[in-house]
Amino acid sequence: MKNHMIRQGHGPFYADQLRSGDPYELSNGHPIQCLPTGGRGSKANLIGGLVLGTDPDVDSAGVDTGYAPTPGTLRAPDVSVGNVPDVPGWVAGAPPLALEYADTGQDEVDLALKITELLAAGTRFVWVVRLTGPRRVEVYQPGTAMRVCYPGDWLEAPGILRNKLPVESLYDPQAAATVALRNLLQRQGYSDLDAVRGEAAVESLRGAVLDVLDGRGVIADAATRARLERCADPEQLRHWLRRAATLDDVADLFAASLGRGRDAGKE
């Protein structure tokens, strides 16, 4: 029987009768066959999981996670964000954000039903990435008309994702890598790659000051080292580096500081 045929009444099946790996979802007790994904779709699923799962505000995400909001319903979005516990079995409720990829052969009637069931179960956003025809993302929210976003547009999920992301990052590997790198840096406390480069430069300057003092036989005591460590201003550190090349007493290193307000070690 085709998936899109009308299903009347509650079907004979329940979510607890299905096992992980069974090729079915359930809608009101009726089975919906889910066949393996083609090459393009499988690559897209991996990209979507990377981009969404690395967002710094996301604490759980999954691929093909099975949700059973009612005993006769079992739905598995291609990518789910939030409500993905690290335990076996179907998950109660629904994910806050669900991502679906629609490629050649997509059953449009069942996709529409799946979106309706996810939103009714508590999903706040369903994003459908169209891989055929013009690339685009359909955005579904409860009580709101569907809207379409195209390459160059931005997607947002307030309260779920910290960062907005470009439409193309959900299917283009290079765009996805750029977004994922930003996300991973933010998870480590950096705003972006420039912040990492800046911190590396500061560390290098601190080391250079100490190396110059050591090379000139000037002993840097613990207080000097601590003040250098507290300073995050590269211009101030360059100023001290120049002084280190000429002074004879470490006590003179911090004389005539720049006073730029960014010297974290200023007394």
pLDDT in tens, 210-235: 999 999 999 999 999 999 999 999 99
- pLDDT confidence of 9, banded at 50, 70, 90? confident
Residue with tokens 């994904």: 37
pLDDT for 267 beyond 50: no
Per-residue pLDDT tens over the stretch 182-197:
999 999 999 888 888 9
CA 131 to chain centre: 21
Cα separation values, 156 from 9, 78, 129, 211, 259, Å: 37, 18, 14, 48, 41
The whole-angstrom separation of Cα 166 and Cα 156 is: 9
The CA radius of gyration of the chain, in Å to the nearest whole number, is 28
CA 186 to chain centre: 10
Write down all domains in the chain, each with its CATH number in brackets.
15-187 (3.90.1570.10), 193-252 (no CATH)
Mean predicted confidence (pLDDT) in 38-45: 94
pLDDT for 266 beyond 60: no
Residue with tokens 């799962």: 53
Average pLDDT, the chain: 92
Per-residue pLDDT tens over the stretch 55-94:
999 999 999 999 999 999 999 999 999 999 999 999 999 9
Half-sphere exposure for 107 (CA within 13 Å, toward CB) = 14
81 within 8 A of 95, measured Cβ to Cβ:
yes
Q: Exposed, middle or buried: residue 145 (CB in 10 Å: 0-12, 13-18, 19+)?
A: exposed
Mean predicted confidence (pLDDT) in 172-189: 96
- pLDDT confidence of 2, banded at 50, 70, 90? very low
118 within 8 A of 40, measured Cβ to Cβ:
no
Cα separation values, 136 from 31, 37, 153, 247, Å: 29, 19, 9, 64
The whole-angstrom separation of Cα 121 and Cα 134 is: 30
What was the pLDDT predicted at 35?
85
pLDDT for 1 beyond 60: no
187 within 8 A of 54, measured Cβ to Cβ:
yes
The whole-angstrom separation of Cα 108 and Cα 99 is: 15
Per-residue pLDDT tens over the stretch 79-132:
999 999 999 999 999 999 999 999 999 999 999 999 999 999 999 999 999 999
Q: Exposed, middle or buried: residue 136 (CB in 10 Å: 0-12, 13-18, 19+)?
A: middle
